Amino acid sequence: MVNAESNQLFQRIKADDRGAFELLFKRLYPRLKDFAWKVVKDEDIAKDIVQDVFIKLWEKKKSVETINIEAFIFKSVKNQCLTHLKHLKIVENVNSNLSNLSEVEELYRIDFVRNEPYVLIEKELQRQIEDVFNKLPGQCRNVFMLSRIEGLKNREIAEKLEINIKNVERHITRALCEFRKHFGDRLPLAVIILVLKELY
């Protein structure tokens, strides 16, 4: 199932609607930047790559024909990331880098491309994330939920749960350590939070 809202925005973009272009950029930029960063390992370069893809999309909007603009942009970002790696003359490391990112790429592919064969991979990653979250001690889970999912500040959490800020910080650190222990570098925290928000 393609993303109808993004496709509608792109149709407006093809009609020179700059406002629609800005909306599409804001909608997709955070996820694309996270993915690019996982590939190139440099936040500034990741930002430049995503911005460059959108600039080219605006410049060539009249000639772009696609039924899924999110999939088109995702593929463009991925290809530009690989081009960057090749320009750095580290082609020999590209395959190993991508193999380490395979699970991350699958989740992003589900998000942008939405092909049916990837749904099972998405469900398995959701199950693993939920499993790690549910195994956290009760108070630790509550603090992490309030902090990362509901967006409360540490002081607000401390007041709400009637604990001191040091304890809040300790619980958040413990939760982050558990996720890192299970997923390592293969799944960015931003994606874990995104999945948890959808689950809870």
pLDDT digits (tens, 9 = 90+) for 127-148: 888 999 999 999 999 999 999 8
Q: Which residue, of 114, 147, 182, is where some domain finishes?
A: 114
Distance of CA 75 to the CA centre of its chain: 14
Q: Which residue, of 66, 91, 114, is where some domain finishes?
A: 114
Segments forming the whole domain that contains residue 167 = 120-199
Please report where in the chains the tokens 């993303």 appear, as a residue: 3
Closest by Cα among 194, 198, 148 to 168: 148
pTM value is 0.51
For residue range 175-194, what is the model confidence (pLDDT) as tens digits? Answer: 999 998 888 766 667 777 77
CB 35 within 8 A of CB 74: yes
Is the same domain home to 32 and 68?
Answer: yes
Q: Which residue, of 114, 138, 165, is where some domain finishes?
A: 114
For residue range 67-121, what is the model confidence (pLDDT) as tens digits? Answer: 789 888 988 998 888 788 777 655 455 455 555 555 556 556 655 655 444 444 4
CB 153 within 8 A of CB 165: no
Is the same domain home to 142 and 157?
Answer: yes
CATH number at residue 86: 1.10.1740.10
If one counts the domains in the chain, the total is 2
